[in-house]
Amino acid sequence: MSVTPIQSTPGIKDQVSAAEWQTRVDLAACYRLVAMHGWDDLIFTHISAKVPGTEEFLINPYGLMFHEITASSLVKIDQAGNKLLDSPYEINPAGFTIHSAVHEVRHDVVCVLHTHTAAGVAVSAQKQGVLPISQQSLFVLSSLAYHPYEGVALDPEEKVRLQADLGDKNFLMLHNHGLLTCGGTIADTFLMMFIFQRACDIQVLAQTGGTELIAIEPQVLAGARAMVAGVTKSAQGMGGALAWPALLRKLDQQDTGYKS
């Protein structure tokens, strides 16, 4: 079988606002960072971001791996999944179902990030879910919801149930499926996934030791929830704005192609 070259989408930068272009660059960087951290799943799973000032959003072209995605290749769609700019690529229907469900009701959310990592799926298959055994888990447990597995997300009726389960939370564990974070910026959403993933990594690793785990005391957990709630409402948000420039510097040392 011959190798199919990546198809170009020329002139996108000239067709969109400066704000949309910056969102495209940041979202493409987020895809590359997910790949850099090993959280991608071939061409599957998705990261979406709302186009500033609209209810439209950007999502990955179905068929590209995360390390290949550029600002120009991202597909702009409406809430019905219709492409709003010419693109040689289609979108993944399952990805659209999950991401459109969040964007439809959470107007405070700019970005939605979903992964199928081994540790994330492993913890999502555990009845107790995320355990309060690490500092990372405290951030997750401060705003965590669960959604039961209903099969591959192709049924539009599942959207209503996912929306109800998510509510106003920013971390969602999809049982037997994976992890999802949503936030007010791309940077915060990525940082939340970093913390979510790290909490799952630690939990799975701790469980392999075969000894009794030390649970964080309930009063400490309650205090942490109040602290995290205050942090998320602050001007710094989850702290993504502080970490994002450093992440971009690290990414640029490897490849700046995401900016094209």
Say what the pLDDT of residue 2 is. Answer: 60
Q: Name the phi and psi angles at 125, rounded to 5.
A: -90, 0
Q: For residue 1, tell me if it sits in a domain.
A: no
Quote the number of domains for the chain.
1
Specify the pLDDT at position 9.
72
CA distance 155 to 161: 11
Q: How many CB atoms lie within 10 A of CB 239?
A: 17
Residue 6 covered by a domain: no
Helix (H/G/I), strand (E/B), else coil: 145? strand
| pLDDT value at residue 233 | 58
List phi, psi (to 5°) of 147: -135, 125
Q: What is the pLDDT of residue 20?
A: 98
Residues constituting the chain: 260
pLDDT of residue 95: 79
| 84, part of any domain | yes
Domain boundaries, position 83: 16-254
What tokens does 260 get? 């094209």
Query: How far apart, in whole angstroms, are the C-alpha atoms of residue 17 and residue 76?
Result: 13
pLDDT digits (tens, 9 = 90+) for 7-24: 767 789 999 999 999 999
Q: Does any domain span residue 54?
A: yes
pLDDT along the chain (260 residues), means of 10: 68 94 98 98 96 96 96 95 92 87 96 98 98 95 96 86 97 98 96 97 96 93 78 61 95 95
178 phi and psi, to 5 degrees?
160, -160
* Res 228: pLDDT: 74
pLDDT in the model for residue 46 = 96
CB atoms within 10 A of CB 174: 24
Q: What is the CATH number of the domain that holds 208?
A: 3.40.225.10
The number of beta carbons lying within 10 Å of the beta carbon of residue 35 is 16
Model confidence, pTM: 0.93
**Does any domain span residue 5?**
no
Q: What confidence score (pLDDT) does residue 126 get?
A: 98
In a domain, 3, yes or no: no
Residue 236 lies in a domain: yes
Distances (CA, A) of 157 to 50, 59, 133, 153: 22, 21, 35, 10
Residue 131 belongs to some domain of the structure: yes
Q: What is the pLDDT of residue 3?
A: 67
